[in-house]
A and B are shown apart, each in its own frame.
Chain A
């Protein structure tokens, strides 16, 4: 067998081994999460190695405990889901409101400092979030925004706007400028051009950007911990789950049910629009 033929065969087999390995490695933890969330804790302790659940032991008690309100002796995750939804949707809408004009300007209009703007915005990521944490912590304490969801939304906008602009910009530049010129000749103002011509054309990328912002805001943990820890009624699901794990005598099965509750919304949304999102994120990467 020649070396080329051997390698062809070898890599042909390895390819499937790699694919199988990766699928197991990525899916198994999520399967395990789901499994434990519907298992009674006693059965888990009895036989930790059994990775299936029988019909007789299947239970939704963990979910009941997680979702029941605090007054009724549960963990109150419904309220946290509402908080998380408010924060994430608020962050999405406001970020898009800020980023769409910004991205349009950066991609279309020649203005003083245009080139520097992009560099400045991407420079945001150079500084550790923990570096922002100290002064923001103090600023919010002074402004009375500590423990409020509004403060958190403001931070999320600042954290996501640079990527949002970056993602939108690469799409805006693909809209042919002649379409805009035609609209201008027909008497559209600049606002109308953006509103009626560019936005409808860029709708997929706006959706993708919105989803990405949603994902970041929904999953964020550090700033929620810093600003909301003292205010249980404002906890987001991420923070609530982490605080739950600190509690004494919380069974792991309940913790896993909480993890499922936290993971499900964002995963459902993501797979609802996966294609748009992945294309939006990497559309700048495949140019040769």
Chain B
């Protein structure tokens, strides 16, 4: 970022000797053209992403509500009060834990299902293109629509899942998948609503992993496997020792991408459960602080804490798996 700001794409450069020489060379021309072409992107990302992020960090250390902002300057009274309130607010730690479970569960789920799907669809068969197209539907469809379909499907009174569950599988009463915090399965309490939300997330994002893994699978040279078949290996061995190592860099990259996106996810949980029944992820809390109480300071502080936790977790991840992800990106 610093290098970008050092050389703004000025149209009228200072007529110093160096600038004049740079102007005359092809290399200098290329440099200026590059900066000019990239500047619209840079400006919009700066105004709508970078500045708001910096401002959030500032707001997190100020005591403001939405109504005060008009009257208050950008740099009002500095305070750690908001952070204190975030850490001491009821449900903060459980909410953070819920976010982590939700993120890890959804990331794992979508990648595992995506991998199984990619392996199943690897070899051509009649209608493969159709099946492949069908599998992208959950990813392409609008989140609001699919969240409502799931709500209706799982609804205790008119949902088809509960109806079949009671009539075919002999459940003694309907299961409130999205509104029940915990459900006893053979004496073990299962966090029902959280599991359902993770299942939804897995369903919606396995196509993303599937696409990337299928593309990578098809680039694995056929000779490798043919040689292994000749050597009398089993399919499992071929997967474990030939395909999986080839796929690991993509899996590592997918893990990072899905982790980041799910960690910050708001829509899915908000639409499915509204953050109730033990699915109170941090992103939904931020929204609630912002809109229900207009407490900008608290909402910002909560958002900043979320971002810091994410960065720390990513830092740990890269420390252990860093080389693999870099391999994939290089």
Interface residues of A (CB under 8 A from B): 3-4, 7-8, 11, 15, 18-19, 22-23, 25-27, 29-30, 32-33, 36, 44-45, 48-49, 51, 97-99, 101-102, 104-106, 109-114, 116-117, 120-121, 124-139, 141-142, 154-155, 157-158, 161-162, 165, 190, 215, 218-219, 221-222, 226, 237-239, 241-242, 245, 252, 255-256, 258-260, 262-263, 266-267, 270-271, 274, 278, 281-282, 285-288
CB distance from A62 to the nearest CB of B (A): 13
Does B316 have its Cβ within 8 Å of any Cβ on chain A?
A: no
List, in ascending order, chain A residues with CB within 8 A of B219's CB: 286-288
Tell me the complex Cα distance, A161–B219, Å. 28
In-complex Cβ contact of A267 among B141, B143, B149 (8 A): B141
Tell me the complex Cα distance, A286–B220, Å. 9
Tell me the complex Cα distance, A169–B100, Å. 34
List, in ascending order, chain A residues with CB within 8 A of B95's CB: none
Tell me the complex Cα distance, A131–B143, Å. 20
B246, closest chain A residue (CB): A288
In-complex Cβ contact of B310 among A126, A165, A222, A262 (8 A): A126
Tell me the complex Cα distance, A162–B99, Å. 26
> Mind listing 10 A-B residue pairs with CB under 8 Å?
A18-B116, A98-B41, A126-B260, A131-B52, A157-B48, A190-B33, A221-B267, A239-B144, A259-B146, A271-B133
- Contact, CB under 8 Å: B300 / A242: no
- Contact, CB under 8 Å: A99 / B137: no
Tell me the complex Cα distance, A271–B135, Å. 12
Q: Given A117-B4, A158-B48, A242-B271, are A51 and B160 also a contact pair (CB < 8 Å)?
A: yes
Does B306 have its Cβ within 8 Å of any Cβ on chain A?
A: yes
List, in ascending order, chain B residues with CB within 8 A of A8's CB: 234-235
Does B248 have its Cβ within 8 Å of any Cβ on chain A?
A: no
- Contact, CB under 8 Å: A285 / B263: no
In-complex Cβ contact of A222 among B53, B261, B267 (8 A): B267
- Contact, CB under 8 Å: B234 / A266: no
In-complex Cβ contact of B271 among A215, A221, A285 (8 A): A221
- Contact, CB under 8 Å: B70 / A142: yes
Task: Determine the main DSSP class of A at the interface with B.
Answer: helix
CB distance from A151 to the nearest CB of B (A): 10
Q: A106-B38, A155-B48, A161-B41 are in contact. List 17 more A-B contacts (CB 8 A).
A: A3-B234, A8-B235, A11-B235, A15-B120, A29-B149, A98-B44, A105-B33, A110-B27, A111-B35, A125-B261, A127-B264, A128-B266, A134-B59, A135-B300, A139-B55, A260-B145, A263-B146
A102, closest chain B residue (CB): B41
Tell me the complex Cα distance, A99–B52, Å. 21
Tell me the complex Cα distance, A101–B116, Å. 39
Within 8 A of A (CB), among B210-245: 211-212, 215-216, 218-219, 232-236
Within 8 A of A (CB), among B104-127: 116-117, 119-121
- Contact, CB under 8 Å: B215 / A286: yes
Q: Could you say which interface size class chain B belongs to? A: 35 or more
Does B88 have its Cβ within 8 Å of any Cβ on chain A?
A: no
Tell me the complex Cα distance, A102–B69, Å. 35
CB distance from B62 to the nearest CB of A (A): 12
- Contact, CB under 8 Å: B146 / A29: yes
Tell me the complex Cα distance, A105–B311, Å. 30
- Contact, CB under 8 Å: A221 / B143: yes
In-complex Cβ contact of A255 among B6, B148, B291 (8 A): B148
- Contact, CB under 8 Å: A262 / B144: yes
Does B140 have its Cβ within 8 Å of any Cβ on chain A?
A: yes
- Contact, CB under 8 Å: A131 / B236: no
List, in ascending order, chain A residues with CB within 8 A of B164's CB: 49
- Contact, CB under 8 Å: A282 / B212: yes
List, in ascending order, chain A residues with CB within 8 A of B186's CB: none
What does the 1/0 interface line of B259-303 toward A look like (CB < 8 Å)? 011011011000100000000000100110011000010011001
A3, closest chain B residue (CB): B234
Tell me the complex Cα distance, A161–B40, Å. 10
- Contact, CB under 8 Å: B3 / A116: yes
CB distance from A140 to the nearest CB of B (A): 10
Q: Given A8-B235, A155-B48, A161-B45, are A252 and B158 also a contact pair (CB < 8 Å)?
A: yes
